[in-house]
Amino acid sequence: MSLNIVSKIEAGKKQRLRVIIGVIATVCVLALLCVLFIQLLLTKERIEIENHITEVAKQSAVAIDILINGDFETLGLYARILGNEPKYLDKNNVRNGLKTVIKNTRFYSMGVAYPNGDVIIYDARKGFTPVFNVKNFKYFKAGMSGQNFVDFINSEYDDNKLIVLYAVPVIKNGKVIAIVTGANDAKDYTRASDITAFNEEAVVHILDGNGDILLKDSSENAIFKSSIFEDEDGISKEVKEKSLKSESPISYWFKDKNNIRKVAAFVPVGYNNWKILAILPFSSIAHNTSAVLRYSVIFLLLINLVVILGIRYNVMIRRRSDNMIMDIALQDDVTKGHNKTSFNIEAEKILFSKKTTPNDRLAILMLDIDNFKIINEIYDMEKGDVVLKNISDIIGKYIEENGVYARFNDDVFAIMYKYVNEKDLTLFAKNIASEIEKIDLSIKVVPSIGIYEITDKNIPLNIMCDKANLAKRTRKGLVGERYAFYDESLSLAIMADKEIEDEMKSALDNNEFVMYLQPKIGMETNLPCGSEALIRWNHKEKGLIPPNNFVPLFEKNGFIVEIDKFMWEEACKVIRSWIDKGLEPLPISVNISRIHFKYENIVEIIENLVKKYDIPKRYLELELTESAFLDNEGAVNSAIIDLQELGYTIAMDDFGIGYSSLNMLRKLPVNVLKLDRGFINEATCTERGFIVLSHIIQMARDLKATVVCEGIETPIQVNMLKQAGGDIAQGFYYARPMPINEYNSFVYHTESVQN
């Protein structure tokens, strides 16, 4: 019995010991766990503090990035508009544009700097500042090298106030043609990066890559004055340099001069190697971890709310600004539909849209109106614009949802059309042409349409349009169908034009262009009485190239200006040589392209040439075609009157081809009328033709103008011209265009020519 009790007592002791040991072990484990937990909590708290201040700095960096990105996008859009439409860089247009665009941006001032350094600045508060030169300014140098620029500077033009200055280059064909600038108050960026939590003990600076403070926190707790390398925080220079060089966020702990423990975080900003430096005292965080977490959550929510509101505000401002600028950039001012820029955007979308299947067939159509300038001449520009709107409505009526169209310029329209088969495409072109021809005008509106069927979507859109344009030109001036399809034979013409353009400048430098003279014959004396200067290209490999192979291209690409100047000088040289040899010069008529009247002071150029070679002005006759008068009537009239008053003879070439020849004759007192060969051909075939020719010659006599008939090739034409009373004849019947030495022999060693 007792043994059982003893054994039970011993068993109880052992059980209690085991319980005690278990409790002690449990307590030790719990203590160890508490120590580990406290250590983990402290470590976590430290990490959380570092992560938190780093996250705060990131949010500040994001806010700064948003502001900078938004401002760059606003300036970039304006710069692209100026690059696409260089006419807006005219100083008057720039002034008007700055005043309009700035209203829908955050900038208080905007400007445009030109490559010579001159800058036009509009301040929304003060108006335009005087033009000054910024050629030595950092932002100008950055912009001219094609780079965007942003920096904090003290503006000497605004009481040395700290501002944020932006600059964006305006690029055209890979070349910087101007710089767009904008300026904001630096306070906007202070507000964006400000940290109001932690009892306002947090400090935020914006640093440059050298550690210098660009934007200083206004708080009294800021320990740095102008650089983080001021020796007031006990942190080594190496640690700070590592923090500045790091491309990812980095943080460290330190004690300031008052022995207050603080944590600092460096976070990169997306520009100029800038850094956000956020500094927070440990005491503002360590009192209560849960409170810190609560405040952190609230703070982060507030920061996110500020960022969201900032993003929303920025998007709203940019959207308003973008809509206004996009209306200018992407809308045609006449038809209110697409322009060339927006057409290219929409056409590219159609080409590469997922909705466009491999079975979908697409075509580019280019359309313009034959002799559209005549409509503006006979009516007015306002009526011409009404016609353009009608054409746009007609295209829209037939294209429906199957493509996009736009007015490119003048009377030129481009269409991208999705069609089923060639019959469908042909019907589409026919319907548009037929409807346009029904427009109610006294002059028939005649369209020409070129069609390029797209077989390779990777061909640049402008090349597709060029191919459709080539097809369109084949219908110009012809009767019958108003449309034509592109085929590869037209590409040969492109290649030939490209070859000519590649060689034209070197040919001029190498004296491959030569002047030929075609004699003019007086109908009464049957003797030479002058000549017309005609260009020939004596190619070093191909031999003599006729002018119709290159002159139309030169008129299109503008090189005709250089050719004209060359011919004028050659004519002056020949006249001078005749005078020096004691020969009586005969007048040489030279052509003047319409392009000269748009860009050059033609009166001054011709006067300088005549003075240079010291020749009488009566020997240099100036020929203009009717199209030159129509293109720029005001400038042409003024120049012609000036030249006539100086003693030059003015001739109207190809008289009678256009609709408004008589109207031009009424306005301009030309000295010579050169009749197109069509008058002579008609006069030899019909009685009506002879009557018209006779009356034109009589009318010219009444106006005290001389009549020159071109294209005389047969004795019948000679007799007809004499009967009609013509003054001067020119054509193969008498002589072909010839080199100068042959012309000298023809004129000065021949008393008479064929009867």
| Domain boundaries along the sequence of the chain | 188-311, 340-487, 506-748
pLDDT at 564: 94
pLDDT at 255: 73
Q: Which stretches of 114-260 are assigned E, i.e. beta strand?
A: 118-123, 127-128, 132-133, 149-155, 161-172, 175-185, 203-207, 213-215, 250-255
Do 700 and 673 contact (CB within 8 A), yes or no? Answer: yes
Query: Among candidates 343, 358, 460, which has minimal Cα distance to 395?
Result: 343
Any residues with CB less than 8 A from the CB of 565 and at least 6 apart, and which?
Answer: 605
Average pLDDT over residues 564-590: 95
pLDDT at 27: 54
pLDDT at 363: 95
DSSP 120-149: EEEETTTEEPPPEE-TTSHHHHHHHTT--E
User: Hey, what are 526's tokens?
Assistant: 């049957």
Any residues with CB less than 8 A from the CB of 303 and at least 6 apart, and which?
Answer: 56, 59
Average pLDDT over residues 395-412: 92
Q: pLDDT digit string (tens) for 252-298?
A: 777 777 777 778 888 888 777 788 887 777 666 554 455 545 555 57
Query: Among candidates 539, 461, 457, which has minimal Cα distance to 496?
Result: 539
Do 736 and 516 contact (CB within 8 A), yes or no? Answer: no
Residues 381 and 386: their CA atoms lie apart, in Å, by 9
pLDDT at 596: 81
Query: Among candidates 290, 229, 298, 235, which has minimal Cα distance to 262?
Result: 235
Residues 484 and 477: their CA atoms lie apart, in Å, by 13
| Sign of the CA dihedral running 466, 467, 470, 471 | negative
Average pLDDT over residues 36-45: 61
User: For the purposes of burial, counting CB atoms within 10 Å of the CB of 3, is it exposed (0-12), middle (13-18) or buried (19 or more)?
Assistant: exposed
Q: Which residue carries 């004699």 as its tokens?
A: 519
Residues 107 and 158: their CA atoms lie apart, in Å, by 14
Interstrand relation of 118-123 and 203-207 (parallel, antiparallel or unpaired): unpaired
Query: Among candidates 460, 463, 487, 486, which has minimal Cα distance to 352?
Result: 460
Average pLDDT over residues 29-43: 58
Q: pLDDT digit string (tens) for 641-666?
A: 899 999 999 998 877 665 445 666 77
Q: What is the DSSP letter of 546?
A: P
- pLDDT-derived band at 149 (thresholds 50, 70, 90) equals very high
Residue that wins the pLDDT comparison between 426 and 238: 426
What CATH number has the domain spanning 188-311?
A: 3.30.450.20
Do 62 and 189 contact (CB within 8 A), yes or no? Answer: no
| Sign of the CA dihedral running 579, 582, 587, 591 | negative
Give 340-487's CATH code, choosing from 3.30.70.270, 3.40.50.460, 3.30.70.20, 3.40.718.10: 3.30.70.270
User: Hey, what are 207's tokens?
Assistant: 């640093």
User: Hey, what are 275's tokens?
Assistant: 């850094």
What is the rounded average pLDDT for all residues in the chain?
A: 82
Average pLDDT over residues 512-523: 95
Q: Which long-range contacts (CB under 8 A, 24 or more apart) does 460-464 make?
A: 461/344, 461/347, 461/348, 461/351, 461/364, 462/344, 464/364
User: For the purposes of burial, counting CB atoms within 10 Å of the CB of 324, is it exposed (0-12), middle (13-18) or buried (19 or more)?
Assistant: middle
The number of helices, as runs of H, and strands, as runs of E, in the chain is 24, 26
Q: Which residue carries 């203009």 as its tokens?
A: 624
Residue 378: HSE in the Cβ half-sphere, 13 Å Cα cutoff: 14
CA distances from 319 to 164, 299, 316, 323 (A): 22, 29, 5, 6
Residues 654 and 623: their CA atoms lie apart, in Å, by 10
DSSP 618-648: GGEEEEEEHHHHHHSHHHHHHHHHHHHHTT-
Give 506-748's CATH code, choosing from 3.50.50.60, 3.40.50.720, 3.20.20.450, 3.90.70.10: 3.20.20.450
pTM of the model: 0.46
Residues 389 and 381: their CA atoms lie apart, in Å, by 12
Residues 142 and 169: their CA atoms lie apart, in Å, by 9
Query: Among candidates 520, 517, 537, which has minimal Cα distance to 528?
Result: 520
Residues 128 and 110: their CA atoms lie apart, in Å, by 10
Do 602 and 639 contact (CB within 8 A), yes or no? Answer: yes
- Cα angle 341, 343, 345 (rounded to 5 degrees) comes to 75
Average pLDDT over residues 725-730: 91
Q: What is the DSSP letter of 199?
A: G
User: Hey, what are 173's tokens?
Assistant: 């064909």
- pLDDT-derived band at 755 (thresholds 50, 70, 90) equals very low
Q: Residue 453 pLDDT > 90, yes or no?
A: yes
User: For the purposes of burial, counting CB atoms within 10 Å of the CB of 644, is it exposed (0-12), middle (13-18) or buried (19 or more)?
Assistant: middle
Residue that wins the pLDDT comparison between 365 and 273: 365
Q: Residue 321 pLDDT > 90, yes or no?
A: no
